[in-house]
Chain A
Amino acid sequence: MMRFDRVSTGTLRAVSFAVADGTSAKILSASADQISELFAVCSGVRRPESGHVYMVDNDIYALAPDARIPFFRRIGMVPESGGLISNLKAWENLILPSWYHGTRPPADAEGEVLALFREAGFSEEQVQTLMRKRPDELTKYEKRLVAMIRAILMDPDVLIYDSLLTGLDREAAGRLLKLAQEFHHKKPGRVSVYLCPEDAAAERIRTDQTVTLNN
């Protein structure tokens, strides 16, 4: 479960919504700033001025900072920019959280990573080339795909996408969306939340509920 209870910060004013276990939601706003602020609040790096954010039965800002960071291993975050570490290659970025938390050794992840990239339209050779690149050499689509697969490898309870389809061509956006929707159903109770600016790309995302933020 994920719940916002009268959260205010920056341009967000008393935002409340709840996404039940096993469902998906689309949070829309006309303002890109609101989406960025919402994502920062969801990701635990921006404490709201007031209100509470609940994820997997925890008020995340009530957790001590040292407890909040490890808690986020249960939450998959897919930032619009990819949120990749610039001095690591794509492969190192992909496996970093699962390797770090000991959930999956890199050798075990190879097969699944390759299968996911194939679903996203890459050949094995293209994957090999891609894995050796640094984030600055990747396209917007590749960055988001790497970030999404990185999150998938952690098998999170909650997945939050920031402007997942924004700025992508229809085909690339379709592949990402298919991957996200398939992954949502692979674990009972998983929550998927798409934070989107109100644009044509957002209309393609089919979810159990839609929340529109007012300015």
Chain B
Amino acid sequence: MIPTALNPERIGKSVLGLFDYVRGIYELLSYSIKSLGLLAKPPIRQVFKKQIYFTGIEALAPITAIATLSGIVITTQITSLAGQNIGLTAKIMLWVVVRELGPLLTAIVIIARSSSATASELATMKIRGEIDSLKMMGIHPGDYLVVPRIAGITLSVITVTFYFQMTAIIMGYAFASLVGYLPFIKSLAGIVSILSMKEVLVSLTKAVVFGLVIASTSCYFGLRARASPTAVPQAATGAVMRNLLTVFVLDGILTYAFFV
């Protein structure tokens, strides 16, 4: 008997599954990007706005809490290591919050909240025959379901990432100032003075890439669900796990590409 982990059939299926996933994501993304003009149609715009509300606005409360706590922890750690060194603190805050934690933690929160919700919603619609109902009404499911979700989730990830970075920096410095480690205004001015176009570009690239991947992966897993009672939780779990893995891999690749 071949051990399960080394079973060639199992390995082959995983590899084919990965190819299917990459092809599926590519198709969904290229279709959505080509069809962005559809957002001008009122019913599609309505889905787009709802997606921004669920993914962006409703994520603000947990993002505020996580960003505040992250900012406080990071400034406390830096000042405990480097003392009251405004320049060094600003550099480390920039490296940690703007380059890494902002995009990554935002992506994780959105994966936890919206990826599972989107995948299970689409899987439920598919199982209940609602995708076919849309076709019967002359509505392309890709246009009505996928395009506004990909656009809405991506835009939400970009704006929430920016919000996370601002909150973490301001709250981190506010805490450091409150306990007397660092002066608030001087510290903020320090970070603004070293903020380069490259930092903004890296952060924005990561947010755009993560947003596109999270949205398309969630739609992919939702739309490939088969008619079975277990399909909905499988779609949700599959989307979350694949998203987490992909986001970490892409984070590594982007960081390497920009800074090494």
Contact = CB atoms under 8 A, between A and B. Distances in A.
Most buried by A among B121, B135, B138: B138
Contacts of A77: 136-137
B195 to A, nearest CB: 41
A101 interface: yes
Contacts of A74: 138
B201 interface: no
B3 interface: no
A123 interface: no
Nearest to A81: B129
The secondary structure that dominates the B interface is helix
Interface string B119-161: 0010011001110111111111000100000000000000000
Contacts of B37: none
Interface stretch (A13-21, A63-71, A169-177, A187-195): A63-71
B135 A72 contact: yes
Given A43-B132, A99-B42, A100-B43, A86 B139 contact: no
A162 to B, nearest CB: 10
Contacts of B139: 69, 96-97, 100
Contacts of B43: 96, 99-100
B41 interface: yes
Interface residues of A, number: 28
Contact of B138 (A70, A79, A86): A70
Given A43-B132, A100-B41, A100-B43, A85 B125 contact: yes
Contact of A96 (B132, B137, B140): B137
A92 B42 CA distance: 12
Nearest to A82: B133
Nearest to A66: B140
A83 interface: yes
A91 to B, nearest CB: 12
B41 A86 contact: no
B133 A83 contact: yes
Interface string A17-38: 0000000000000000000000
B54 to A, nearest CB: 11
Given A100-B41, A100-B43, A100-B144, A72 B137 contact: yes
A69 B140 contact: yes
Contacts of B140: 66, 69-70
A204 to B, nearest CB: 25
A85 to B, nearest CB: 5
B130 A69 contact: no
A69 B144 CA distance: 12
Contacts of B136: 43-45, 72, 75, 77, 79, 83
A96 to B, nearest CB: 6
A37 B180 CA distance: 75
A84 interface: yes
Contacts of B133: 79, 83-85
A215 interface: no
Nearest to A98: B137
Contacts of B132: 40, 43, 45, 83
A181 B138 CA distance: 24
B135 A44 contact: yes
Interface of A: 40, 43-45, 66, 69-75, 77, 79, 81, 83-87, 96-97, 99-102, 150, 154
- Top 5 nearest A-B pairs (CB, nearest first) are A73-B138, A83-B133, A97-B137, A72-B138, A77-B136
20 contacts: A40-B132, A43-B132, A43-B135, A44-B136, A45-B136, A66-B140, A69-B138, A69-B139, A69-B140, A70-B138, A73-B137, A73-B138, A75-B136, A81-B129, A83-B136, A85-B134, A86-B130, A100-B43, A100-B137, A102-B41
Given A85-B125, A96-B137, A96-B139, 19 more contacts: A43-B132, A45-B135, A69-B139, A71-B138, A72-B135, A72-B137, A74-B138, A77-B136, A77-B137, A81-B129, A83-B130, A83-B132, A83-B136, A86-B124, A97-B137, A97-B138, A99-B43, A100-B44, A100-B139
